[in-house]
Amino acid sequence: MALDITALAPDPALLDLPWEVPLEEWPEHHLAALPRGISRHVVRFVRLSGGVLAVKEISEPLARREFQTLRNLRRLDQPVVEPLGVVSGRVDADGNALDACLITRHLKFSLPYRAVFSQRLRPDTARRTLDALAVLLVRLHLAGCFWGDVSLSNTLFRRDAGEYAAYLVDAETAELHPTLSDGQREHDLFIAHGNIAGELMDLEAGGQLDEGEDPIEIANLIMHRYDLLWNELTSEERFERGDRWRVDERIRRLNNLGFDVDELEMSTDVDGTHIRLQPKVVDAGHHSRRLMHLTGLDVEENQARRLLNDLDSYRAATDRQSDDEDVVAHEWLSRVYEPVTRSVPRELRSKLEPAEFFHEILEHRWYLSEQAGHDTPIEDAVRDYLETVLPSRPDEVAVVGVDTQEIPIQAQLED
């Protein structure tokens, strides 16, 4: 039987690996000492061509099916490990057939859940780690993916600016559909609850779960987080044309849940306007890069996200969603952003930088609209903020009450 290597980017060095040896018996000099999670199959991390690969021994039909599923999920921009190839046609020295191997790229800086919990996390950090699994499951379900074996063991966790991001690492039972039925989602959730509770009980028995933490309660909280996210992301909201502030409120809720709004779909009927938000989680720095491209504004990431949300809301409110984004962004810059930031009197400009001032205006506008129960014109929000809020704010150019120009240059550099 001839060795068959199916790979997206074949590496000749793959031929140097001992495919004629059962994976469990591979010599140490081929292996990378990385933490492994619990798996029903033999998994090894292998050093090859300066990188690290994950190799899983599995039957050929399952290997090829999982390889294709991972490829499709990657095309859908889902957080899953990267599939590289399948090796089949393996035989040992005695001519006995061996299972095929699925090859994926090792996800850098990622850890299985046991390695994460072995670090004795604080309770709130541990809960955020598990919370990431709920976010992952929501994303997969939105993409039409039925996981079929949701568990901590089939997930990798990677640090993400103080939080954790979860990645699907085992897709043996996963299926892709145009959309999922409520029954498919509920079945995935039923599996998830049982698996997660059992895995946490195992951690508890090993002394790796903080005393007083209830595995069942934590599993229940993850399911609650899932329901909260799913309902917020999929519900359709009706509002009147003058209630633009409610669009801002919906975007705010999504941002607080960790999702960013990629687009707004708007349809109208005789009763008013329907808004359906399509959320998309984006990479760090995406907002600042996108805003720079569209407007030339160079601001911090959270500021950029807030400004882009207002730009998207402006497109929906002016029915410009089908127009070129660059054109609408230029219009928003000249008609909304610049008039607002230029409205600050010269004597108050040291209070806040322009982007932060605009963010404050949006916050103030939302607050006034919520109080009034209807959309507040941005001009009114600017006028009220300049009169009641900005004058009492401290100057941002001051450092602990000392003007930065009074600090020696060397001291500024050391700070």
- How does pLDDT run across 29-81, given as a tens digit for each residue? 888 876 565 667 899 989 888 788 999 999 999 999 999 999 999 998 888 99
On the question of pLDDT at 302 being above 80, the answer is no
pLDDT band at residue 415 under the 50/70/90 scheme? very low
Alpha helix stretches (DSSP H) within 206-324 = 215-234, 244-256, 286-295, 301-317
- Max avg pLDDT among 94-108, 151-165, 197-211: 94-108
Task: Name 81's Cβ contacts closer than 8 Å, sequence gap at least 6.
Answer: 54, 70, 104, 105, 106, 107, 156, 167, 168, 169
What pLDDT score does 398 carry? 38
pLDDT band at residue 393 under the 50/70/90 scheme? confident
Residue range 381-386: average pLDDT?
94
One-letter amino acid of 137: L
The token pair at 87 is: 């090796």
DSSP state of 15: G
pLDDT band at residue 264 under the 50/70/90 scheme? low
By mean pLDDT, which of 78-87, 185-194, 319-328, 329-338 is the weakest? Answer: 319-328
SS3 of 107-127: the string is CCCEEEHHHHHCCCCCHHHHH
Residue range 258-286: average pLDDT?
56
The Cα 117–Cα 197 span in angstroms is 15
On the question of pLDDT at 211 being above 80, the answer is no
Ordered structural domains, the chain, with CATH = 4-105 (3.30.200), 110-233 (1.10.510), 236-399 (no CATH)
Average pLDDT, the chain: 81
What pLDDT score does 386 carry? 93
On the question of pLDDT at 405 being above 50, the answer is no
What pLDDT score does 103 carry? 95
pLDDT band at residue 299 under the 50/70/90 scheme? confident
pTM of the model: 0.64
What pLDDT score does 255 carry? 66
SS3 label, residue 407: coil
By mean pLDDT, which of 80-94, 233-247, 305-319, 375-389 is the weakest? Answer: 233-247
The Cα 289–Cα 154 span in angstroms is 33
By mean pLDDT, which of 58-67, 144-153, 195-204 is the weakest? Answer: 195-204
**For residue 96, what are the β-bridge partners?**
none
What Cα–Cα distance (Å) separates residue 361 from each residue in 250, 311, 340, 366, 378?
18, 14, 8, 9, 8
- pLDDT above 70 covers a percentage of the chain that reads 79
CA 10 to centroid of chain Cα atoms: 30
pLDDT band at residue 220 under the 50/70/90 scheme? very high
Over the range 107-135, which residues count as b (16 or more CB within 10 Å of their CB) and which as e? beebbbbbebbeeebeeeebeebbbbbbb
- pLDDT above 90 covers a percentage of the chain that reads 35
